[in-house]
Structure 1
Amino acid sequence: MIRAGVIGLIIVLGQVLAPMVHAKPQLLASIKPLALIAQEVAGDRAVVDTLLPIAASPHDYPLKMSDHRRLRDADLIIWVGPELESFLARALANIPADKQLPSYTLPNLHWPESPVSDGHNHAHHQHVGGDPHLWLDPRNAGVIAQVLVQKLTQLDPSSAQSYQANAARFIASIEQLDQQLSLQLAPVKTRGFAVYHEGYSHFVGRYELHQVGYVTYTPERRPGAKHLKELQDVLKKEGKCLFVEPYYQTDSMKAIVQSLGLRLGMLDPIGGQQVSSYKELLENLGNSFLTCLTDVAH
């Protein structure tokens, strides 16, 4: 009886201690693109979750009590920084810095260069070194992945080799993706277009596309009548396509497209429910640009 009791105690202790021994690091990414990058590095050795729902704007999101709890419980929080998710700055002020990975301040990031003036007075201003949508340049995804290897290794040293191998495979795949996008988009580099909000300069700059304007600087800011008039003027001269986004009202944009004889395209910088990898996110963007800008050339 005593022996059976001891065996039973050992089994119970084993059940209690097993989760502690084998607990996987809990990663919480603010937005889906960062979660997709994190998942590539983590593989099955860590749990990756996303804070914001797909349709929520990373510019302005009201945190719920359950969100605060998720932030406190995470082993590592991956976000861009207050430059994008300003709503997170206050909540993260009470969380240790070593539990955070703010990607905006990472060294070796690639930033879009200032656009070269071609003599036109465009209704266009491009972020220079400040656009926080930095994941739209695949080289930056590689930078984030390398830092994630360091962070995950600190949390889970026994899986270091797995994290390193995963990151190496991911970086090799996005280098190939980068070359693919460069070739794919080269034929449409000179064709003008406008985007819904000024958040694509990393993608536009990397592939030297010809963005001539934007509808609104941030999605929460309604464009003024003067700005829309200037935008229509430049689109009338050299625009081929106007891109909208799936999470915002587009009726007024459709009216502009119809009046100017443009094509209407769709860009999703976050990735909808169907997007399951970082590669797919950027491939979708590339295909959207190519489809909208190529079709009007014929």
Structure 2
Amino acid sequence: MKSTTALLFASTLLLASPAFAAAPNVVVSIKPVHSLVASIMQGIGEPSLIVEGGASPHTYTMKPSNAAALQAAKVVFWVGPGLEAFLDKPLDTLGTGAQVVELGEAPGLAKLKFREGGAFEGHDHGEEGHGEEAGHEGHEDHGDAHAGEAEGAEHADKHDDHDHAEGEFDMHMWLDPMNAKAMATEIEKTLAAADPANAAAYKANLEKFNARIDALDKSLAETVAAVKDKPFVVFHDAYQYFENRYQVRVAGSITVSPEVLPGAERLSEIRAKIKELGATCVFAEPQFEPKLVSVVIEGTPAKSGTLDPEAGTLEAGPDLYFQMMENIGASLKECLSSAS
């Protein structure tokens, strides 16, 4: 009887035991990066997300629940102060007990410099591309080519420019799948060191993630192949990495810094640039005022569409990154294919 009872007790303990050791408390800043972390932690634990729903890191304000999450965190992942400026001081005061990992500094990233002004000059994709760091082929560094606007196209909105005090690089690095790979590698390395008991599981998840990224990269190239020579305008200059990876033609942006809405002079300037370059589509973003797109395309043959580079409309989780990138490719193809 005792042996039977002991066997039942042991079986109960075995069934109740988790498949993996308890994961560390991980906090992530924004949805695209959260998706990368969730992919590496899949089956082990779930990271917490700060910028939820349709909010944007460009305009986000910390909540008490965010502060509590940072105080309890063992590891915090963010892109860096050039993107999530709202986190800069809280990480110094609230995240003192956590390992803070700035993925914008991950080894192997192909980094592109900021480009100033919303109405860029025409793109020449026939030139040999190169990233700021030797991350991978196919990247152009537009930092010098787009350092200024055409003569006489001065902005009335003097503050409608990036404040580059935190650095010289565009922080939307995840929009190149190869950069997502580099970030995921740093995420796996960090988690394996913080949680050695689950190191093998993190490594296996990274291998699965990389295979999915390779398939995504090939699919996106095929999706935009037929429309990559058609110029288009975006809401804010967030797409350099996608642009350089797949050689699509972003002709300009409505605003450089989404924290500051453009004035009448900039809108007129962008409208003129649309006509001059023959931009076929102007893309809004769900986090910002869509009426501006209607104003910009008024009197031009351009059509409107929507791109969501921060995945504000998608549910957080491991699949979000792949859905976000596929949606960007599909939106570009749909609008540009239908435009004359």
Q: TM-score, normalised by structure 2?
A: 0.75
Q: Distance in 1 between matches of 2:294 and 2:244?
A: 26
- Aligned to 1:101, the other structure's residue is in SS state strand
Trace 1:208-287 onto structure 2 (pairs within 5 A): 208-237=247-276, 238-271=278-311, 272-274=313-315, 276-287=319-330
What's the offset of the Cα at 1:85?
0.6
Distance 1:117 1:69 in 2: 44
Which one has more relative contact order, counting CA pairs under 8 Å at least 6 apart? Answer: 2
- Preserved contact between residue 111 and residue 129 of structure 1 (Cα < 8 Å): no
Quick one: distance in 2 between partners of 1:117 and 1:37? 32
Query: Is the contact between residue 25 and residue 45 of structure 1 (CA under 8 Å) also seen in structure 2?
Result: no
Matches within 5 A, 1:96-245: 96=96, 99-112=99-112, 113-115=140-142, 121=150, 130-237=169-276, 238-245=278-285
Q: Displacement, 1:129? A: 6.3
DSSP 3-state at the match of 2:60: coil
Map of 1:47 onto structure 2: 46
For residues 266 and 195 of structure 1, what CA distance do their matches in structure 2 show?
Answer: 9
C-alpha displacement of 1:274: 4.4
- Structure 1 runs (4+) deviating above 4 angstroms are 125-129
Q: In structure 1, what is the equivalent of residue 334 of structure 2? A: 291
Give the whole-Å Cα distance in 2 for the aligned partners of 1:84 and 1:257.
28
Instruction: Describe the SS at the equivalent of 2:235.
Output: strand
Aligned partners of 2:175 and 2:325 also within 8 Å: yes
Supply the distance in 1 between the matched residues of 2:303 and 2:171 (Cα, whole angstroms).
27
* CA shift in 2, pair 1:163/1:22, >3 Å: closer
Structure 2: any 5+ residue segments left out of the alignment?
1-5, 7-12, 113-139, 154-160
In 2, Cα distance between equivalents of 1:216 and 1:192: 17
**1:73 aligned partner:** 72
The 1:152–1:230 alpha-carbon spacing in structure 2 relative to 1, beyond 3 Å, is same
Cα-to-partner distance string for 1:236-260 (whole Å, 9 max, x where unaligned): 1211000001121122321332421
Judged with a 3 Å threshold, the aligned counterparts in structure 2 of structure 1 residues 98 and 70 are, in CA distance, closer, same or farther, namely closer
Identity percentage of aligned residues: 31
- 2: distance between equivalents of 1:106 and 1:97? 21
**Corresponding residue for 1:92?**
91
Give TM-score scaled by structure 1 length. 0.86
User: Aligned ranges for residues 28-39 of structure 1 at < 5 Å?
Assistant: 28-39=27-38
Does structure 1 retain, via aligned residues, the 8 Å contact 2:314–2:320? no
Q: CA deviation at 1:23?
A: 2.9
| Equivalent residue, structure 1, for 2:129 | none
Distance in 1 (CA, whole Å) between partners of 2:193 and 2:292 is 50
Q: What root-mean-square deviation, in Å, do the aligned CA atoms of Structure 1 and Structure 2 show? A: 2.9
Report the AA paired with residue 225 of structure 1: A
Q: Residue type of the partner of 2:282? A: L
Shift of 1:111: 2.3
Report the Cα distance in structure 1 between the residues aligned to 2:194 and 2:244, rounded to whole angstroms.
35
Aligned to 1:10: none
1:101-142 per-residue CA deviation (whole Å, 9 max, x = no partner) reads: 111112210124333969x9497x999961111111111111
Task: Report the count of equivalent residues.
Answer: 282
- Structure 1: any 5+ residue segments left out of the alignment? 1-6, 8-13
